[in-house]
Chains A and B, each alone.
Chain A
Amino acid sequence: MMQFIAYLTRKLSRDFHGEIISLPTRTILVTAFLALLLLPLFNSNTYILRILTLTCIFSIYAASWDLLGGFAGQISFGHALFFGVAAYTSALLNLRLGLPVLVTIPIGALAAVLSGLVLGLPGLRLKGPYFSLASLAFPIIMMGIVFTFPQLTGGELGISGITRLAATRVREYYLSLMMMLTLVLVMWKIVTSKTGLIFHAIREDEITVRASGINTSLYKMLAFIISGLFAGIAGGMYAHFMRVVGPSTLELIMSLQIIVFVIFGGIATIYGPVVGVFILYPLMEYLRVVPEYRMLIFGLLVVLVLRVMPEGISTFVQDLLEGECPRCKERNAFTRSACRICGTDLDSHTHLNFLKRGA
């Protein structure tokens, strides 16, 4: 037992040195996470904690869109379907049946997947832009259903009086932070696995994947289910955090805003959308100081940033701080003079990459 613990400690410290400290972007991410972890100790302003909790929830939602849109290439304009259905289901289960949060969120997520399957089975047969356009209709259909049964769903007023996610604001904050870390890591693990490779390949060329003997319908469905599950969890958390669920969870802006976050952060990376949400969502809240110009400034900022970094902010920073070894294609910090894996000489040391590119 002692030996096992010693082994584990050794392995963890080795991974920490080799995989995190050696790469500047990962160091930044770990530092940022630690800062978020320690934040409530220094600042107990509930408004800031509220914004950050919502940011965590939207990070899960954005990463789930990235899994479907960025990796499997099924660009969905109706991702709010999962979010909204899960939010409504959790809220109703909680309010009518009095189920606790731990039960309602998973059931809500499953309901989101189910509704996604009902609408998506015919939808996934469509290709490319046709799927995107069809997906635009999904939340609108669901919103129609919501308005058809106002006694059950509360119509335009929505459902209120739902149990809190956790007893205090700080607990809610830590819960959603930990959920975000876990779920995003799980998604990252999925997309870097062999299944993720097939998602990548389906996005690149579906016919070739078929001719390689892989059941593309199955894998597209799988991407749909995984993505819907995570978006559903985010939706359920949102319902319990806001304690009111209305048709706003199904609105078009819910679907489209998230795409802006993902593209701003860096598409097809999983961690990119999280970065994007953590920059843009608090910014949007901050811009409430100038309510008239809020959306204008927001839009201009996104356009200008994407003009400079078309592949998203996370990819841009990564290229800036890390170079790719020409031989083994492993990434290295810009300060290194030799590749940390294969020892090849790197010419980019002491120069930031963008200086060399003359950009």
Chain B
Amino acid sequence: MTGDFLEVNNLSKRFGGLHAIRDVSFSVNRQEVVGLIGPNGAGKTTLVRLILGIIKANSGQVIFKGQNLTGKKTWTIVGQGIAGTFQNARPFAHLPIIANVMVPCLGPRASRRGEWVKTVEARAMDALEFVGIADLAKEPASRLSQGDLKRLEVARAIACEPELLILDEPFGGLNPTETSLMAKSIRRLHKGGRFGRLHSEGPAMIIIEHKLSELMKIVDRVIVLNFGETLTMGTPEEVVNDPKVIQAYIGKEVV
């Protein structure tokens, strides 16, 4: 495994007596889309929050493009090119939707890039257009439905111009049509290119998801977490047929 892009080494996090994450190590390539699955309470969201620096790890390292990001502030990490969405969308409820996306566009990384598009509004609008809620741009964010909130989260994350995009349950609360649309958007984003005035280099991705059938169509590789430890890693086919994974999800068969 060439682990020169994102490398996570022996990351551990305890909440009191609970080992939320125990010695997790994995790496992600520049071109990869990695799925992160596991039963509820396996520590997927905690892992993402550790990578993003929202909570501090007890031990272990996160190395991104050769730089040690362990213990750095969240804004530094985002400035290096990692952006993530939250599992429960946390919009700025009283602000218009476009303002929600303008805030990441004002960050140091985002304003350094894409200098040929001067106005923040134009870039925010392109991010909204990409996820398909541009027509709601001036509505307050509190008026959005659950599905649109997920899209807003994705728009906010891609407005940070990330090289590594972490999506925490992007399909959560979406109906099947919306799910397939979102999956399409994610694939398109990964391929990279220009969306209006928004330029994407095709970020590497880590996707946390419970809707495995949709997830498996997108990802190149899957990491399975259980009780804070990596259960197994491999291609989607390998993982789906792994008896350990089936046991973790469904439980052991009582003979």
Contact = CB atoms under 8 A, between A and B. Distances in A.
Interface of A: 194, 197-198, 200-201, 204-205, 207-216, 328-329
A200 B99 contact: yes
Nearest to B79: A213
Q: Lowest 5 CB-CB distances: which A-B pairs, in order? A: A213-B78, A213-B107, A212-B104, A204-B92, A210-B74
8 contacts: A197-B95, A204-B91, A208-B91, A211-B83, A211-B84, A213-B78, A215-B73, A215-B108
Contact of B73 (A200, A204, A208, A210): A210
B44 interface: no
B138 A213 contact: no
Nearest to A208: B90
Given A204-B92, A210-B74, A212-B156, A197 B106 contact: yes
Interface string B5-42: 00000000000000000000000000000000000000
Contact of B54 (A197, A210, A213): A210
Contact of B103 (A207, A214, A328, A329): A214
A207 B54 contact: yes
B75 interface: yes
Contacts of B109: 213
Contacts of B86: 208, 211
B73 A201 contact: no
Contacts of B79: 213
A207 B87 CA distance: 13
Given A207-B90, A213-B104, A213-B107, A194 B95 contact: no
Interface string B143-159: 00000000000001001
A310 B100 CA distance: 26
B93 interface: yes
Main secondary structure of the interface of A (DSSP, over half): helix
Contacts of A215: 73, 75, 108
Nearest to B81: A213
Most A Cβ at <10 Å: residue of B79, B91, B106, B109: B106
Size category, B interface: 20 to 34
A198 B107 CA distance: 10
Contacts of B108: 213, 215
A329 B143 CA distance: 14
Nearest to B93: A204
Contact of A211 (B54, B92, B96, B102): B54
Contacts of A210: 54, 73-75, 78
A211 B120 CA distance: 18
Nearest to B120: A194
Contacts of B160: 212-213
Contacts of B110: 213
A211 B78 contact: yes
B83 A213 contact: yes
Contacts of A194: 102, 106, 120
Most A Cβ at <10 Å: residue of B104, B109, B120, B156: B104
B184 interface: no
Given A213-B78, A213-B110, A204 B95 contact: yes
A333 B54 CA distance: 45
Nearest to A200: B95
A213 B75 contact: yes
B128 interface: no
A205 B90 contact: yes
Interface string B102-133: 11101111100000000010000000000000
Contacts of B106: 194, 197-198, 214
Most B Cβ at <10 Å: residue of A201, A212, A328, A329: A212
B57 interface: no
Given A200-B92, A214-B75, 16 more contacts: A197-B99, A200-B94, A201-B99, A201-B100, A205-B92, A209-B103, A210-B74, A210-B75, A210-B78, A211-B74, A211-B86, A212-B78, A212-B107, A212-B159, A213-B107, A328-B138
Given A209-B103, A211-B84, A329-B96, A216 B75 contact: yes
B186 interface: no
A329 B138 contact: yes
Contacts of B207: none
Nearest to A212: B104
Interface in B26-79: 52, 54, 73-75, 78-79
Nearest to A217: B73
Interface in B186-220: none
Nearest to B102: A197
A212 B73 contact: no
A210 B54 CA distance: 8
B193 to A, nearest CB: 23
Contacts of A205: 90-92
Contacts of A208: 86, 90-92, 103, 156
Contact of B52 (A204, A209, A211, A214): A211
